[in-house]
Amino acid sequence: MAREAANIFRRFVASTRAVAAIEFAMVLPVLAILFLASFDGGRAIAIYMKVRAATYALDTVSNQYTTIQSTDMTSIMQATSLIMAPYSSAPIVATISQIAISGTGNATVAWSYSLNGTARAQGSAITVPTALDNDNTYLIFAEVTYTFTPVFGFFTPGSITFSDNLYVTPRNSTCIIYVPQTGTSCT
C-alpha cells in the first residue's frame, strides 16, 4: 500500500497535464483584482478631468455676463452639472462668487451662489492669490467639488473628494451684477 501511494505521488509530481489550468487558477484572482482596480482608477481619472472642465466652464460662462438673473444662474449651474455626464451630478458641489478687491487691497465676497452646497457669505473676507490682488478690481471665483465613490473598492476603500477652483476677471464689464443679491449695482 505504501509503495502504491508513493508511485501515485511520483506520477502526480511528474505529470505536466493541466499545469496551465492550475497556474491560471492561481493567477486569475490577482488579474481580476487588478482589472477591477483599474476600472475604478480609470473612472476616478475621468471624473477628476470632468471636475476641472466643470470649474472652467462655470467661470468662463459666468464672466461673459454683465448682469445675472436667477434664471441665468440656474442655467449656468445646470450646464456645470451636464458636464459631469454620464456620471451622476448628485455629488457635485459648485459655487460661483464675485470677489471685490477694495482700494486698500481687502478682498470680500460681493455675491455668491452654490449648487448643492453653501454659498460664501456676502461681505466675508477672502484671500486671493498675490498675483491677482489688484486694488479696485473684481474677480469671479469658481469652486467645484465632487465626491467619488468607487464601484468595487479595490482602487481605494472609501470615497475620494476631488476639488478645483479658478479665478477669472469679468470679461464685458468691471463687475457682474447678480440681481438677487446686489440689486442693480456693484457692491
Q: What is the pLDDT of residue 15?
A: 67
Q: What is the pLDDT of residues 108-117, one digit of tens each?
A: 999 999 999 9
| Cβ–Cβ under 8 Å, residues 132 and 104 | no
Q: What is the pLDDT of residue 92?
A: 93
Q: What is the pLDDT of residue 152?
A: 82
Q: What is the pLDDT of residues 49-92, one digit of tens each?
A: 999 999 999 999 999 999 989 999 999 999 888 999 898 888 99
State pTM to two decimals. Answer: 0.80
| Cβ–Cβ under 8 Å, residues 94 and 142 | yes
| Cβ–Cβ under 8 Å, residues 98 and 180 | no
- N-term to C-term CA, the chain: 99
Q: What is the pLDDT of residue 187?
A: 66
Segments in the chain below pLDDT 70: 1, 12, 15-16, 154-155, 187
Q: Which distant-in-sequence residues (6+ apart) come within 8 Å of 88 by Cβ? A: none
Task: Name the residue ranges covered by the structural domains of the chain.
Answer: 2-182
Q: What is the pLDDT of residue 155?
A: 67
Name which of 152, 146, 9 is nearest 80 in CA terms: 146
